[in-house]
Amino acid sequence: MSHLSSSQFNELKAKASELFDSNDNWESVCVCRKEVAGKETDEVCIALQVLNKQPLNEIDEQDRFPESITLSDGTVVPTDVQITDSLYFYALASCYTLPTPGTNPNTWVMPVSGSRSTQRPIQGGLSVSIMPPAGYGGNSVSTGTLGGVAIDLQDGTLVGISNNHVLGGNIFAGGKVGAYRNSNGLVFWSFLSANDTTPSSGEDEYPVYQQSTYDKFSSTKSVLDPLKIGGVKRAYPFNTSGNRIDIASFAFDDTSLDTSEVVDASTSWKQYLLDYSTPQEWATDAEIDSLLTTEYGAPVFRSGRTEGPVGWPGSNPYGSSACSLSAYAVSSSATINYGGNLGAISFTNQIYVRGNTDAVTGGDSGSFISALFNASNPALSAWKVIGLVYAGNTSSMSYAICNRITDVANMFSLSAWMGENRPLKYTHRDIQVIESRSTALTAMIGGKMYWQAGSTGFAATTSFDT
């Protein structure tokens, strides 16, 4: 089935999503390669992941996975039931307590120490965070990863990219009008006004730091202020089901430090410790799908705050092939546990990347993940971003779960930055209040797109609750 056309592949991905939505007992449904005796074949299939295989007569009829799928043109695609030792997928920004004295910076070694330290200019793969969840001076700090710098097509500026659950405070569609409350009970303005209200009344925006509060071992404002590189700009709200992206962006700050020290056109498009001299394009859907067919086995790379550079191709200067990653599934649906008030919510059309060591760990959320296309032909080969990491598992068969970069681009109005000159800091906040309730995440008003920052369950208002 490696010869599936683009339209057939798209239909197959839709079928996989439909199967996942049809049964709450199915935790993960993937478009991947069929396995025989635990070895991948060259057949593309739709697979159900399970902890244990059971005899057919012991499975309730409604829970039996179909033996094949027939596409609209009559093509029959096989299915598979594949064993995994963990179906617990979780969001990865999990470092929310002060480190123990034994983890002080003097014990760090390269390459991970570089990802966790202060780096100027910035690159993708470095630690970032927002204001400590318990407020300045509290006993809780946070961390995640900067995926990279991208172009915000809403205003043409450069922005930093990470996850909603890293930078955006887990903003959820239908939340409180104008504000959200985090898990520690503090109330903040929405991302559009970008102004926190409880612990730092003098701040003019919701700050983003590099290095992160966790890696600085501090939640003290005076310690963190020199690390500020920008303020949260917008985040894509979560829904109870059918999510495709976990993303937030931040605008760079040119008031508290020289922005040229933070963003440099000759280096800031890079992924930290990936030896590559050309800005990375973002892969197309067809290129991502080809990772199961013509590009099967392509080298995959990710640089993150906790694991550092992972997925090395296995040759100098990347080190051992023991750190390899591979694209396992190109369109998967799964339930992700965010914990706290958000709980478990479902995602569809995701990429699974499998590692023979830890593919991803807490604090690596927000990483960009890249693949080397045409690896066997140096004249044509190119690294391209394929996804945005936000979740994973910790089993011996370790997975990193990623949003497709095409969904990131199309749903959040972004494009790849190729090093050209672009403005950095957005200069105004344009808020429009509508007179009716809406479940839409965006609205076109006067030819401009506005993002939802209010509630779908309360009347429109021009005042913000605190």
Spacing of C-alpha 461 from chain mean position: 32
* Residue 175: inside a domain: yes
Q: 140 and 61, same structural domain?
A: no
* Residue 181: inside a domain: yes
Spacing of C-alpha 118 from chain mean position: 22
Q: 279 and 213, same structural domain?
A: yes
pLDDT under 70 in the chain at which residues?
1-2, 85-88, 92-103, 169-205, 254-260, 312-323, 340-341, 356-358, 394-397, 426-441, 451-466
Of 83, 113, 128, which one is at a domain's C-terminal end? 83
Q: 338 and 379, same structural domain?
A: yes
Query: For 393-435, where are the E strands, in sequence order?
Result: 398-404, 414-416
Distances in Å between the Cα of 324 and the Cα atoms of 105, 131, 274, 438 are 27, 34, 14, 46
Q: 100 and 14, same structural domain?
A: no
Q: 404 pairs with which residues across the strands?
A: 387
pLDDT for 455 equals: 41
Q: 113 and 77, same structural domain?
A: no
Q: 361 and 273, same structural domain?
A: yes
pLDDT for 452 equals: 64
Identify whether the C-beta of residue 231 lies closer than 8 Å to the C-beta of residue 241: no
Q: 127 and 52, same structural domain?
A: no
Q: 40 and 187, same structural domain?
A: no
Q: 14 and 162, same structural domain?
A: no
pLDDT for 323 equals: 64
pLDDT for 369 equals: 95
Number of domains in the chain: 2
* Residue 362: inside a domain: yes
Q: 267 and 195, same structural domain?
A: yes
* Residue 1: inside a domain: no
Of 83, 111, 134, which one is at a domain's C-terminal end? 83
pLDDT for 268 equals: 95
Of 83, 102, 130, which one is at a domain's C-terminal end? 83
pLDDT for 254 equals: 59
Rg of the Cα trace of the chain? 22
pLDDT for 77 equals: 94
Q: 116 and 18, same structural domain?
A: no
Kindly tell me the sign of the dihedral angle through the C-alpha atoms of 423, 428, 429, 433: negative
pLDDT for 163 equals: 93
**Residue 182 belongs to what domain range?**
92-466
Q: 314 and 369, same structural domain?
A: yes
